[in-house]
Amino acid sequence: MSEFVRIMSQQDLPAEGEAREVECGEYQLCVARLNGEITVMNNICPHNGGPLGQGIIENGKIVCPWHAWAFDLKTGQAEHEPRARVPIYDFKIEGDDVLAKLD
Ligand code: FES
């Protein structure tokens, strides 16, 4: 059973409408903020391994910088490929720490 682990400090969260990459142990994460809501998802694009945290956000989706596959920030579902989904992780904020449940 996985537990919440610290992934970053709250002050390092991305600005509205932006995403960033975060490394936490063996995990590469993409942390995004849209309409005030934070998403913590895997950073590795299921198409060919592109860094989603370097992508831009359009229409509620993070767009991979390599070949422009787009993934819903709420579900991780790829826009045009039903079999592709990016894992999204539960997270919480405690004090200045952002904690995520990585499994
Ligand atoms: S690696 Fe992300 S769209 Fe190709």
15-29 confidence digits (pLDDT tens): 999 999 999 999 999
Per-residue confidence (pLDDT) for residue 93, from 0 to 100? 97
For ligand 1, pick from 21, 30, 41, 48 the residue to mutate: most ligand atoms within 8 Å of CB. 48
Burial (Cβ within 10 Å: 0-12, 13-18, ≥19) of residue 84: middle
Residue 67 CB less than 6 A away from ligand 1: yes
Six-digit token string for 5? 């682990």
- Output the pTM of the full model: 0.95
Per-residue confidence (pLDDT) for residue 37, from 0 to 100? 97
Per-residue confidence (pLDDT) for residue 1, from 0 to 100? 54
Per-residue confidence (pLDDT) for residue 2, from 0 to 100? 77
Q: At a CB cut-off of 8 Å and minimum separation 6, what does 80 contact?
A: 69, 70
State the DSSP H helix or E strand holding residue 46, giving kind and residue range, or none if neither: none
- Among 83, 82, 80, 70, which Cα is nearest to 34's? 70
Q: Which residues of the chain have pLDDT under 50?
A: none
Among all chains, which residue has been given the structure tokens 């950073």? Answer: 43
Residue whose Cα lies nearest atom 4 of ligand 1: it is 67
Residue 17 CB less than 6 A away from ligand 1: no
Q: Could you give the CA distance from residue 20 to residue 12 in angstroms, rounded to a whole number? A: 9
The yes or no reply on domain 4-101 and CATH 2.102.10.10 is yes
